[in-house]
A and B are shown apart, each in its own frame.
Chain A
């Protein structure tokens, strides 16, 4: 009999929707009066409600963190190698929540949702959101699910920023924060890449000032280029060299502008696939979420002061070949936590994959997370 459960998988999962009718005031000053968040859960919340873990998504993912759908078995969650029975985040012990953030395009209220005031899609009128806004709305989801305090909030990249913000915004609601491939803020170079992506989208003739839904159009060309630019920054130079090198598709130079090098067709493929399912307005907003994240900004650039309220235990992990959010950036966070005398462990994983390493199978990385979760398990008695 096929149970639909492969070893180590949480099996078939079903997304759920939480409706919130109390307005949320956003950092930009705008308010969203009512909204929905789509989420998934894996494992069981224990009687003491002590074993909940929030897994925060990065730029291009959503609430589908682990398992697969009954009607779409190939659609496997983005952190399925990390979360499941017997996996580093063991769903036999922990209750894991994944949520599509506000402004997203996977079912939570966002630019392509209907604005109740106009009866039309929000489009460009959907406000610009921030990591703080996401964390505030995730906290409401936690209330809705009856979770007072998370055993851990974790994420990679932009997900790690949310975990850090959780520790600062809600110190009493986070026992442990796992910050993987994180940075305390984006560098000028990081922002520059985001701006290229935004310009690609905004200057696409199908963008229509962000109201493309009404024109039954989608700025897929812009979104493709945006994704291609982004993807370059996720991989290391070495990884690209070993995966593609200067390999030619047709074995010889064609003197044309069709994709000739393997890396060109790979990027085009990535861009095309992404543009088919991702919403351009969401992409624009998420790049802004990244750009604006800077907890030290309101403390005169003093990160240690910004992180002073945090009371969680921290596991900070960086990857040596990550040039997008380099190890030095993670060390800035570690230094600030050391200054505040917080419990912190820092590991630098020598992995070849660049920024994307946080999503990939790496035994040293996964063993570390598993060992840390064993400790968390002791803390919360599961």
Chain B
């Protein structure tokens, strides 16, 4: 679900800043395991990835990352309550069918959750829609007919969701071109990164 390119390293760095050294991390939709590798190197974390795709599972094995093959849509029943410090869902929330359930599962299994998603409210995306097209950009690289993204949202939408679902946001960083966006983030930021816990 995620490949490691320069753009996404930006959210990796933010996540690495947040997680405590030596903590236990579960990375949902871990792709080839790059984030876990990065966090292991930077922060000495231990943990596992969860991934459905055969090729990605193989890549994790090659990268020395522990991976459990499974379907996020079926929940996290292999994992016990509160067994991780952080459960990460990086660039995958928008492709999950039952977003509400997965956030709930993240906060059952982890003390804290971390999500990153492409901000649909980014001005370039709005411009695409104004011009009569679905947006295609570095963070939303798919055409409408082939996109796995079924639950796109804006920063405002996500924060409304958290308020309504008893999720307390602990930290937020909004990114564009690898740098933090402080001013009008829902308009000027292309990628959102949140750390949250149960309220």
Q: Interface of A with B (CB < 8 Å)?
A: 315, 331, 334-335, 338-339, 341, 343-350, 364, 367-368, 371-372, 374-375, 378
Contact = CB atoms under 8 A, between A and B. Distances in A.
B78 A338 contact: yes
Interface stretch (B8-16, B62-70, B85-93, B175-183): B62-70
A367 B78 contact: no
A346 B68 contact: yes
A346 B71 CA distance: 13
Contacts of A335: 78
Contacts of A349: 54
10 contacts: A315-B61, A338-B83, A343-B66, A344-B48, A345-B61, A346-B68, A346-B69, A347-B57, A347-B67, A371-B62
A334 B66 contact: no
Nearest to B47: A341
A339 B80 contact: yes
B58 interface: yes
Contacts of B80: 338-339
Interface residues of B, number: 19
B72 to A, nearest CB: 14
Contacts of A372: 61
Q: 6 smallest A-B Cβ distances: which pairs?
A: A371-B61, A371-B62, A346-B68, A347-B69, A348-B69, A345-B67
Interface of B: 24, 46, 48, 54, 57-58, 60-62, 64, 66-70, 78-80, 83
A359 B64 CA distance: 25
Contacts of B60: 345
A371 B68 contact: no
A345 B66 contact: yes
A364 B54 CA distance: 8
Nearest to B71: A348
A334 B62 CA distance: 20
A338 B79 contact: yes
A345 B58 contact: no
Contacts of A345: 57, 60-61, 66-68
A371 B58 contact: yes
Contacts of A368: 57-58, 61
B171 to A, nearest CB: 27
A79 to B, nearest CB: 20
Contacts of B68: 334, 338, 344-346
B48 A375 contact: no
Contact of A344 (B24, B58, B66, B79): B66
A378 B63 CA distance: 11
Contacts of A315: 61
Contact of A334 (B46, B57, B78, B83): B78
Nearest to A314: B66
Contacts of B46: 341
Contacts of A367: 58
Given A331-B78, A371-B61, A375-B64, 5 more contacts: A334-B78, A338-B79, A345-B57, A345-B61, A346-B69
Contacts of B62: 371, 374-375
A138 B66 CA distance: 29
A179 B64 CA distance: 18
A372 B57 CA distance: 11
A338 B79 CA distance: 7
